Amino acid sequence: MPSRTFRSFVVHREASGQVTGGVQPLPFSDLPAGNVLIRVRYSSLNYKDAMAATGHPGITKNFPHVPGIDAAGTVVESEDARFQPGDEVIATGHELGVERWGGWAEFVRVPGDWVVPLPDGITLEESMVLGTAGFTAAQSVQALLAHGITPDQGSVIVSGATGGVGSVSVMILAKLGFEVTAVSGKAVMHPWLKEIGARHVVGREELQEEQPRPLLKGKYAAGIDTVGGPTLTTMLKKVSYRGCVTCCGVAGGAEMNGTVFPFILRGITLSGIDSAWCPDDLRVNYWKLLASEWKPDSLASVKRLTSLESIDRYVDAILHGKNVGRVVLDLGERTSPE
């Protein structure tokens, strides 16, 4: 293994308990075991990455740690016959960026089962504009389709619509012909949400009613919740008979204080979305959809490029609910190890 080093964003926990993070060189000998070495060209910022970068105990259990649950790049070395040097690939989910070092580095080494060939129709950069957020959005949309939700049944409401999962969900749903109601507390971004496909845009208060009633007027055919907490509880109350709501986030809280009445009186289905351990055959199919008929038309409009050295300010923004769209890390060009 080469003795040269590569740039990484490394999170440390000091003896005092203080967590610090920054860019530093790491030797190749420190990379975890795996049979595919990838030169990372792009990564991305997800809420889970921000928690890892700040040492959240539910995410980061071992230090030093390299965050990054997404990586896209080129195979450098492979002991897996499915991948050859020069192949462009995507690695997301599994333990990447959580239990093992992730994509916020110029190189990553992973098991071959975690690697997906880059599908035709999408670039490495575009794959990270989507990343786990887009992959989660695709699973959410598919859950609604599998439940039988169709565009003629009414509007689909999407919470946290300016975030990564929310904005990609809006774009995919709009492309498939759905009327979308986007929810966001960022009033200045309401015109932008309409530009990327929302038919209607409402404030957070739409899903934060504190009425004790177990059910509210059924206004929506289905919902995609990216927030959790009271937002999810209210969404369930406002979905019409035999509707479906997906959930994938906890930024608004992990508790649900509702009742069973949306389920037993309206037959609502609550569908949980897990992106880390999605079966690998489904993972490949979702990426093919995202690169073809589900590829958002406004993908470039949700992208902001940054570097490892500048990622800190975006970490702070996403943790405080101020991030918009998708932050993509550009790790630049560099010669592969000799």
The 10s digit of each residue's pLDDT in 305-314 is: 999 999 999 9
DSSP class per residue in 42-98: EEE--HHHHHHHTT-TTT--SSSB---SEEEEEEEEESSTT--TT-EEEEESTTBTT
Q: What distance in Å separates the CA atoms of residue 184 and residue 205, rounded to the nearest whole number?
A: 9
CA distances from 282 to 110, 206, 244, 289, 328 (A): 19, 34, 21, 11, 24
pLDDT at 2: 45
For residue 285, is pLDDT > 90? Answer: yes
Look at residue 335 in the predicted model and tell me its pLDDT.
39
| CATH architecture of the domain covering 5-118+307-330 | Alpha-Beta Complex (3.90)
Q: Tens digit of pLDDT for each residue in 151-171?
A: 999 999 999 999 999 999 999
Burial (CB count <10 Å: 0-12, 13-18, 19+), residue 247: buried
Compute the mean pLDDT over every residue in the chain, rounded to the nearest whole number: 94
Distance, CA of 163 to CA of 172 (rounded, Å) = 14
Q: Say how far apart CA 38 and CA 92 lie, in whole Å.
A: 13
Angle at which helices 124-146 and 164-175 cross, to 10°:
70
Task: Give the span between the Cα atoms of 197 and 98, in whole angstroms.
Answer: 33
Q: Which residues pair with 130 in a beta bridge?
A: none
Question: Residue 74 pLDDT > 70, yes or no?
Answer: yes
Q: Which residues of 304-319 are buried (b: 16+ CB within 10 A; e: fewer)?
A: eebebeebbebbeebb
pLDDT tens per residue across span 2-55: 448 999 999 999 988 899 999 999 999 999 999 999 999 999 999 999 999 999
Query: What pLDDT band is residue 61 in, cutting at 50, 70 and 90?
Result: confident
Which of 5, 14, 122 shows the shortest CA–CA distance to 72? 122
Q: Which residues contact 69 (CB under 8 A, 6 or more apart)?
A: 46, 48, 49, 92, 93, 96, 97, 98, 102, 103, 131, 132, 276
Mean pLDDT confidence for 254-262 = 92
pLDDT digit string (tens) for 294-308?
999 989 999 999 999
Asked if 148 and 249 count as a contact pair (C-beta separation under 8 A), the reply is no
Domain with residues 132-272, CATH architecture: 3-Layer(aba) Sandwich (3.40)
Tokens for 252, please give them.
């608004």
E strand intervals along the chain = 5-13, 19-27, 36-44, 70-78, 88-92, 107-110, 115-117, 156-158, 180-183, 200-202, 220-225, 239-247, 269-272, 303-306, 326-330
Contact 9, 21 (CB under 8 A): yes
Phi and psi, residue 216, nearest 5°: -120, 175
- Reduced to 3 states, what is the DSSP secondary structure of residue 324? coil
**pLDDT class of 283 with cuts at 50, 70, 90:** very high
pLDDT of residue 333: 63
Q: What percent of the chain has pLDDT over 90?
A: 87
In the numeric block, the tokens 């490892």 are attached to: 308
Contact assessment for residue 240 and residue 256, using Cβ atoms and an 8 Å cutoff: no
Q: What are phi and psi of 263, to 5 degrees?
A: -85, -40
pLDDT at 1: 43
Q: Is the pLDDT of residue 332 over 90?
A: no
Is the Cβ–Cβ distance between 224 and 156 less than 8 Å? Answer: yes
Domain boundaries, given as residue ranges, for the chain: 5-118+307-330, 132-272
Q: What angle, rounded to 10 degrees, do the helices at 280-290 and 124-146 form?
A: 110
Average pLDDT (103-132) is: 97
- Residue 337: pLDDT over 70: no
Owner of token pair 């959580």? 98
Q: Write the pLDDT tens digit of every residue in 204-214.
A: 999 987 778 99
Q: How far apart are CA 155 and CA 217, in angstroms?
A: 14
**220-225 and 200-202 as β-strands: parallel, antiparallel, unpaired?**
unpaired
